[in-house]
């Protein structure tokens, strides 16, 4: 029963499943009324840890005054390399971590990713560790080679971060192609490591997303081409706030505030396979727990489409001005069902996650 609980709590195998052999040397010395001193230099090959295979493991360092110095620890699996140099066990541990070609698929086993988003690529970076056991600190720069989202390649992805007083502050940018405007994400998330005693200043989290013009094609990737940005100008700026539940290890009470503007844009949709929406203009406001469409107009199938009103993001609530889609003189050709002009309104209730529509035709 205890073993089953440990397996559910961590995606890693138990240490008892680590198999392999080391070659090397260990030197230990001690004197009366003094602490033990030691030095070690080990090399291992062809190690296996359940599904993980390590071609080479190097462990070199020493022990003095209760402090373990590593210079370095190197673990290599194929083209992937994890290396750490520094000291652990003292009041002020320090070190430098090097990551080369670490598959993001491996990291996704530790970080919960929405099932509709598949990430890929190779993580590279350098991280400096400092602080103390009670207040661990870290800062570093990371980059992702061959990055993909939902099997779509990204041009460049890089970022930096700091961790101090149980709070992670980060910023990252990514380009869908060399000519596209960068997608910029900034954030601050509280997270207290299990062994740390210093708590974050609050449980509040903050995320900021900025994307414009060609960068809005991110919608294509996330929606798996249900929506596609074809052309035009646009800008999206969203601030997401909420609280991070340390016990559950996940955010809650999320709210979004921001704005999206579109100017003469062309947008495709799978539900409109024959032709895209053209000349799309308008403004959408993200007001905490709802979306307010001030006005959004476009042309489709020889007619006009206009959208205005409000829709809750998550929790369904009655709205004074419900989201309404007005169709004006559209020419539809539904094979075997209907061919002709369409005018009418579609009122949408519920929420953005679970919309409910009521149609009125004229």
What is the predicted pLDDT for the residue at 180? 81
C-alpha–C-alpha distance, residues 100 and 316, integer Å: 46
Where is pLDDT greater, at 264 or 91?
A: 264
Q: Specify if 202 maps to a domain.
A: no
Average pLDDT over residues 334-357: 72
Residue at which a domain ends, from 40, 63, 90: 90
Pair 293, 310: CB distance under 8 Å: yes
Which of 90, 105, 134 lies at the terminal end of a domain, its last residue? 90
Q: Is residue 196 within 8 Å of residue 206, measured between CB atoms?
A: no
Residue 355 lies in a domain: yes
Q: What is the mean pLDDT of residues 22-30?
A: 86
Beta bridge partners of 152: 149
**Is 245 within the bounds of a domain?**
no
Pairing mode of beta strands 67-77, 152-153? unpaired
Within a domain: 262: no
Mean pLDDT of 165-184: 90
331 pLDDT higher than 60 = yes
Domain boundary among 41, 71, 90: 90
CA distances to 230, 236, 346 from 113, rounded to whole Å, are 27, 22, 34
Cβ-count burial 101-139 (b if 16+ within 10 Å, e if not): bbbbeeeeeeeeeeeeebbbbbbbbebebbbebeebbbe
- Is residue 184 a contact partner of residue 173, using CB atoms and an 8 Å limit? yes
Position 171 pLDDT exceeds 90: yes
Q: What is the pLDDT of residue 2?
A: 41
Question: Is 277 within a domain?
Answer: no
Predicted local distance difference test score (pLDDT) of residue 49: 82
Q: Best-predicted range by mean pLDDT among 165-169, 182-186, 320-324, 353-357?
A: 165-169
Distance from C-alpha of 256 to C-alpha of 174, rounded to nearest angstrom: 21
Q: Which residue has the higher pLDDT, 98 or 362?
A: 98
3-state secondary structure of 41: strand
- Identify the weakest region by mean pLDDT among 132-136, 203-207, 305-309, 350-354: 350-354
Q: So what's the pLDDT on residue 184?
A: 92
337 alpha-carbon distance from chain centroid: 44
In a domain, 21, yes or no: yes
For tokens 């066990």, name the residue.
89
* Mean pLDDT across the chain: 83
The pLDDT of residue 3 is 41
More confident residue, 51 or 38: 38
For the chain, percent of residues with pLDDT exceeding 70:
85
Residue 166 CB contacts under 8 Å (≥ 6 apart), including other chains: 135, 190, 191, 192, 193, 196, 198, 199, 200
Please give the residue range of the domain that contains residue 33: 17-90
Q: Does residue 185 lie within any of the structural domains?
A: no
Residue 240 lies in a domain: no
Least confident of 36-40, 191-195, 233-237, 289-293: 289-293
Number of domains making up the chain: 2
In this predicted structure, what is the pLDDT of residue 348? 82
């Amino acid at each position: 029963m205890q073993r089953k609980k440990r397996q559910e709590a961590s995606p890693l195998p138990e240490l008892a499943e680590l198999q392999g052999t080391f070659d090397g040397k260990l030197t230990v010395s001690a004197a009366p009324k003094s602490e033990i001193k030691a030095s070690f230099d080990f090399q291992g090959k062809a190690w296996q840890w359940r599904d993980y295979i390590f071609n080479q493991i190097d462990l070199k360092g020493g022990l003095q005054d209760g402090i373990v110095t590593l210079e370095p620890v190197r673990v290599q699996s194929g083209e992937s390399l994890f290396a750490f140099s520094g000291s652990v066990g003292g009041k002020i541990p320090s070190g430098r971590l090097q990551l080369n070609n670490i598959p993001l698929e491996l990291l996704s086993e530790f970080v919960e990713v929405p099932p509709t988003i598949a990430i890929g690529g190779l993580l590279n970076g350098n991280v400096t560790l400092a602080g103390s056991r009670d207040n661990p600190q870290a800062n570093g720069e990371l980059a992702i080679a061959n990055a993909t989202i939902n099997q779509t390649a990204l041009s460049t992805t890089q970022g930096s971060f700091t961790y101090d007083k149980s709070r992670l502050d980060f910023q990252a940018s990514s380009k869908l192609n060399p000519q596209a405007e960068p997608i910029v994400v900034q954030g601050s998330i509280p997270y207290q490591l299990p062994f740390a005693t210093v708590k974050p200043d609050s449980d509040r989290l903050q995320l900021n997303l900025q994307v414009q013009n060609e960068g809005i094609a991110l919608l294509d990737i996330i929606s798996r081409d249900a929506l596609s940005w074809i052309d035009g100008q646009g800008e999206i700026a969203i601030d997401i706030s909420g609280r991070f539940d340390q016990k559950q290890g996940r955010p809650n009470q999320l709210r979004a505030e921001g704005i999206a503007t579109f100017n003469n844009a062309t947008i495709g949709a799978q539900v409109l396979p024959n032709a895209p929406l053209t000349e799309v203009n308008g403004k959408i406001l993200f007001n905490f727990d709802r979306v307010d469409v001030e006005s959004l107009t476009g042309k489709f199938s020889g007619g006009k489409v206009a959208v205005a009103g409000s829709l809750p993001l998550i929790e369904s609530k009655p709205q004074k001005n419900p989201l309404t889609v007005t169709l004006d003189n559209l020419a539809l050709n539904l094979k075997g069902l209907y061919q002709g002009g369409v005018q009418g309104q579609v009122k949408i209730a519920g929420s953005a996650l679970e919309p409910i529509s009521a149609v009125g035709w004229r």
